[in-house]
Chain A
Amino acid sequence: MYIIIVGGGKVGYYLAKELVEADHEVLVIELDPVRCAEITETLGDIALRGDGCEVAIQEKIGSGRADLFLAVTGDDEDNLVACQVARHIFNVPRTVARINDPKNELIFRKLGIDLTVSATSAIMAHIEQELPSHPLIPLLQLRSGFEIVEVKVPEGAAAVDMPIKDVRLPNQSLIWGIVDADGNPKAPTADTILHAGDEVVAVTRLESEEAFRNALTAPPPERSF
């Protein structure tokens, strides 16, 4: 594969190193001449000094034949524009942007970046698994706006003792697997009854995350008499 990496900082450097070792054709674009020289010295002639957001630079390095375009600088706006130029002018099939501010995930997604990677979110996801109170853990982002999540059904949730078909999940959501409180995994059907302590693994749309969590964790509505 021909892979272009914009940004030759720590993230870009180690990505390039891994990808070169895996025998991919890699090119790193980096503004800073010192970093460029370092990359060339250790990884070979794979670094070019320049601004990865510039159309002329992308033309020169052949963005048009790239299979994968990774923008991993420390500035979200530069990563966004580099990916948009790659996508809209050079039709790169897959663009990936590093996100420094997790708030930008949604906007990047809306603007057509295929995949976003946020160190903050990644670390949070790992910590969240350690925090028993956290009801929804995003496990993996898929293409086209889906993600795989894990939700623990708490005591007292409206969904407890309910068959899956009666739980009002958001559109385009699907429960794939359940690990019950005793640690037994099972493949659920529409009639499978949910229990408190079940760990539900499901696929849902990114923007439905909150609705999905509520469907499985919210307490029953208060009854009015």
Chain B
Amino acid sequence: MKVVIMGCGRVGSELAKTLDEEGHQVSIMDINAHQFTRFLPETFSGRKITGNGIDQDALRRAGIEEADAFVAVTPGDNRNVMACQIAKHIFDVERVVCRIYDPIREEMYHGLGLRTISPTKVGARLIREALDAEETETAAEPENAPAPETAG
């Protein structure tokens, strides 16, 4: 699979590394070339393109025209949304995934047909689940803890 990733922060770098190791053809973009030196491993064999993902020429340089997938993970919700809409509607990329922090905007763009992920919603849910799990385990402990002793 040919993948273009926009945004070389922690998430972008981690995703690029994983896909690269799995043998996919990865192009990662960032407006700031310094970002490529921060979180990407030295072993990364994909392409690094300095440029703005809402600029159609920069997207072409990153190989958007042949890409099977596009992922937008810059810190800017609006930039991610615009880049993903360009990838989907102008370049007809088959798989497009957009990170949107704002849950309300995330819902709206999901409704407009984008595959969206809101780390705010997902993160809050996971933390809530972890809290519930903690509670269950703490509550369960008094019963479970002495069990080995009685058994032994």
B85 near A78 (CB under 8 angstroms)? no
B105 near A55 (CB under 8 angstroms)? yes
Residue of A nearest to B83 (CB): A77
Interface of A is mostly: helix
1/0 per position for B41-56, CB-CB distance to A under 8 A? 0000000000000111
User: Which residues in chain A, 79-96, are within 8 Å of chain B measured between CB atoms?
Assistant: 80-81, 84-85, 88-89
User: A88: which B residues are within 8 A, CB to CB?
Assistant: 108, 111-112
User: B89: which A residues are within 8 A, CB to CB?
Assistant: 107, 110-111
Once the chains are docked, how many angstroms separate the CA of A136 from the CA of B133? 67
A80 near B82 (CB under 8 angstroms)? yes
Given the known interface contacts A80-B82, A110-B89, A111-B85, the answer about A103 and B108 at a Cβ–Cβ threshold of 8 Å is no
1/0 per position for A61-78, CB-CB distance to B under 8 A? 000000000000001111
Interface of B is mostly: helix
Asked if B33 is at the interface (CB within 8 A of a chain A CB), the reply is no
Asked if B86 is at the interface (CB within 8 A of a chain A CB), the reply is yes
1/0 per position for A161-195, CB-CB distance to B under 8 A? 00000000000000000000000000000000000
Total count of chain B residues near the partner, CB < 8 A? 20
Once the chains are docked, how many angstroms separate the CA of A54 from the CA of B101? 12
B104 near A56 (CB under 8 angstroms)? yes
- Minimum CB–CB distance for A191 against chain B, Å: 41
Asked if A106 is at the interface (CB within 8 A of a chain B CB), the reply is yes
A77 near B105 (CB under 8 angstroms)? no
A101 near B78 (CB under 8 angstroms)? no
Once the chains are docked, how many angstroms separate the CA of A145 from the CA of B57? 23
B104 near A101 (CB under 8 angstroms)? no
- Minimum CB–CB distance for A124 against chain B, Å: 18
Asked if A53 is at the interface (CB within 8 A of a chain B CB), the reply is yes
27 cross-chain CB contacts under 8 A: A53-B105, A55-B104, A55-B105, A75-B78, A77-B76, A77-B82, A80-B82, A80-B85, A81-B77, A81-B78, A81-B81, A81-B105, A84-B112, A85-B105, A85-B108, A88-B111, A89-B108, A101-B55, A103-B55, A103-B57, A104-B54, A106-B90, A107-B82, A107-B85, A107-B90, A110-B89, A111-B89
Report, nearest first, the 6 A-B pairs whose CB atoms are least far apart.
A77-B78, A77-B82, A81-B78, A55-B104, A77-B79, A78-B78
